[in-house]
Amino acid sequence: MSEYQFYEFKAIDNPLSKKDKEIISSWSSRTDASNAGATFEYHYGDFPKDELKVVEKYFDAMFYISNWGTRQLVFKFPNDLIDIKKLMHYSAEGIELIEKEKFTILHIFIEDEDGGGNWIEGDGYLSSLISLRADILSGDYRCLYLIWLKITTEDVINEWGNVDPESEDPDVPANLQSLNAALLDFIDIFEIDKDTIAVASKNSIASLSENNNEYNEIASLSDAEKNDFLKRLLQNEALLNIKLQKRLKAEKSKVSDVNKHNKRSIKEIVAATIELKEKRKNKEKQKREEKRIAKLKEIEKDESNLWGQVDFLIKQKNTKSYEEAIKIMQNLKMLSIYKNQNESFCRKIENIKQDYKRLTGLIGRIDYAKLLKATSNN
């Protein structure tokens, strides 16, 4: 298999200039940058630039994937719209914050330890993830918590030793039980264990923000401030909706949308996940057993008739009939084991072999199906 690398960059807050597009397009003969971004795809060779520096100078977001399991998601945030200290609560190996004078870059970097992964082509994935940037700017840190959860729990499970198992989880964001489409894509792309998420979700409260409608706070703004926001709206000011939300939230005393209590260690989260997986497996096993027994009871109702069908099919003396007869006898074998009557079943099979010993095609199929073995393969 040839190498595959895919980079997609997006400009969100401001479009690329003509000069910017010319420079970016010059990096590859197969790339034609638009006002909103550029993509680079390689089957041989590498991207000629430092992708983080490219984001720093030109873009607001980047997604990268390779067929050897590496995945990257990069967002650039204006410093006046984020809380660096809160973002740092979710720091871990693979989650990097690069602080600059006017902005901060969030760099999520996941590399499959086995050198592989569930390879997917990258085209279109950044578009499905891009709303996570606005979520973070609005104070919704669910994607940060989820990637922290993946990195730390996998480290403890695999005993890599980079994480202290006794360390506690950061603030658990609200609404982990109700994930939007972007978060679901994020979980799939970065292969975050759904059982681990279910365990973590038990400490996630329902969002309080939906019950505190910010529209009610607009009336508290002065006419001058309202007019100022309207003027900036007409000027297409970038991220104005985020800025307005922050202004309105400042007007009220708001309870935090995170659970800062009931802290758990990473070891406890892992243990609860293992317990959940075991319970789920047992439940699935029980359902399979109930389904199997229900099937056997249906066979039991028609047992006498089925033996008659076996005899009829054998007497047809053709390949298709032999195969149908074997399938019926396999079901009857399962029934005999369930009823603890396998000896009686084996005697019937021995009688069939004796009665039709010249039908080598049938005898060969009976032996291959191991119908005379003491236990069933099913």
Query: When comparing pLDDT for 253 and 304, which is higher?
Result: 304
Q: How confident is the model at residue 253 (pLDDT cuts 50, 70, 90)?
A: very low
pLDDT at 205: 87
Q: Is 32 exposed, middle or buried (0-12, 13-18, 19+ CB in 10 A)?
A: exposed
Does residue 55 register a pLDDT over 90?
yes
Report the pLDDT averaged over residues 273-285.
Answer: 94
pLDDT tens profile 295-305: 999 999 999 99
Per-residue H/E/C for 26-37: CCCCCCCCCCCE
pLDDT at 367: 94
pLDDT tens profile 9-20: 999 999 999 999
Q: Which of 72, 274, 272, 266 is nearest to 170 (CA)?
A: 266
Query: When comparing pLDDT for 228 and 95, which is higher?
Result: 95
pLDDT tens profile 36-52: 999 999 998 899 999 99
pLDDT tens profile 57-91: 999 999 999 988 899 999 999 999 999 999 999 99
Determine contact, residues 270/199, Cβ cutoff 8 Å.
Answer: no
Report the pLDDT averaged over residues 315-342.
Answer: 94
What's the token pair of residue 356?
């039709």
pLDDT at 376: 47
Q: Which of 84, 265, 44, 303 is nearest to 165 (CA)?
A: 265
DSSP run (H or E) holding 323: helix 319-338
Q: What is the pTM of this model?
A: 0.76
pLDDT tens profile 109-165: 998 755 455 556 767 889 999 999 999 998 999 999 999 999 999 999 999 888 999
pLDDT at 356: 94
Distances (CA, A) of 12 to 6, 36, 61, 142: 20, 7, 8, 21
pLDDT at 252: 53
Q: How far apart are the first and last CA of the chain?
A: 37
pLDDT cut 90: percent of the chain above it: 70
